Amino acid sequence: MLMPIRLKGVMQAPVSPMKDDFSFDGEGFAKMVDFHVRHGAPAIAWPHHKAESLNLTIAERKLGAEIAVTTVAKRVPVSIFVGTLSEEDSLDLACHAQKIGADAILTISPYCRRPAQEEIFDSIVRIATTVELPVLTYNSPWRNGEGVEFTGELTRRLIDRLPNYIGMKDASFHSQKYLEISRVALNMRPGFAIIMGVEHLLASYPLGACGSFSSSGAIAPNLCNKFFAALEAHDWETARECQFKISELWRLFKEQYPSSLKGAMIMMGRPVGPTRSPLPTASKERLEFLCKRLEELDILQTEPHGW
């Protein structure tokens, strides 16, 4: 029997700390995960793109998943992202996540292929019928028509087919695309979790989004929690203030994501090492610029320092 899980709020997706030789820093990662839980993360989700997922080996992803589950120790739900270039790897990671006691998996049809709707359907069904875990999918349409897009119709068919299909990470950030999914999903399966890929929540929370996977929580967990509390209280004025500040942070971090984010973590007293190639590691000049902006945004002064 499936354990029901409730996903809501600004959920934290930890980065992957690296040692100076670019090897995966398991101890650092455990500290990172624990930091998030102690600072109010309602769930932990790993390894998203921000965690350099595609630059980790499958063995590292399994190791990290084990560390995440052990460190969280059931305090909050843990979802494991199993998207890879090869569907066989995704399937392997999904089975591993179930074996080690993760609470859910997040999956997508393999990237870089412009998969047809039928191919996405088959991919998701294959993975979601192999495991018993609750399954989230990741809607990632790109502007030029590439990417992996879940239309309303595809979402409807998947809900119809899969009892363990519980939610969608939505990275469309687009009123029409969002509503194509939400109006179908929330009416077919009340409680279906629509989780924004970045905390663009003010536009989506009134339309039924239950939370987001955080982009900025490693820097500004207090801001994330304040933002979600304002949304739940329908305090739109405060929510706007938080949303615009998070939007500013996102502008700082989105280029070469997560290089700048990892760089900015040094200023917060939580160094997590370099970013793996082909992504750059933030330069000294970039760090100075980030430090200045974080001060202007009042982040340095209001957010936790150190672990």
Q: Contact between 229 and another protein (CB under 8 A)? A: no
Q: What is the C-alpha end-to-end distance of the chain, expressed in Å?
A: 37
Q: Contact between 207 and another protein (CB under 8 A)? A: yes
Q: Contact between 204 and another protein (CB under 8 A)? A: yes
CB atoms within 10 A of CB 275: 24
Q: Which is nearer to another protein, 178 or 213 (CB)?
A: 178
Q: Which is nearer to another protein, 203 or 300 (CB)?
A: 203
- Which region, judged by CB under 8 A, interacts with another protein, from 46-54, 99-107, 112-120, 173-181? 173-181
Q: Contact between 205 and another protein (CB under 8 A)? A: yes
- Angle, helices 117-130 vs 87-99, to 10°: value is 30
DSSP string computed for 67-94: HHHHHHTTSS-EEEE---SSHHHHHHHH
Q: Alpha carbon of 61 to those of 57, 188, 198: distances in Å?
A: 6, 34, 22
Q: Which is nearer to another protein, 55 or 151 (CB)?
A: 151
Q: Tell me the β-bridge partners of 81.
A: 106
Which uninterrupted H or E stretch holds 292? helix 284-296
Selected from 39, 126, 156, 183, the binder of another protein by CB under 8 A is 183
- Which region, judged by CB under 8 A, interacts with another protein, from 19-27, 62-70, 76-84, 195-203? 195-203
Q: Which of 250, 222, 249, 213 is nearest to 11 (CA)?
A: 213
What is the rounded CA–CA span in Å between residue 259 and residue 279?
7
Taking the complex as a whole, the smallest distance from the CB of residue 117 to another protein amounts, in Å, to 14
Selected from 111, 250, 257, 289, the binder of another protein by CB under 8 A is 250
Residues numbered 122-161 forming contacts with another protein, rule: CB under 8 A: 143, 145, 152
Taking the complex as a whole, the smallest distance from the CB of residue 86 to another protein amounts, in Å, to 30
Sites of contact with another protein (CB under 8 A)? 143, 145, 152, 173-180, 182-183, 187, 200, 202-208, 234, 236, 239-240, 243-244, 247-248, 250-251
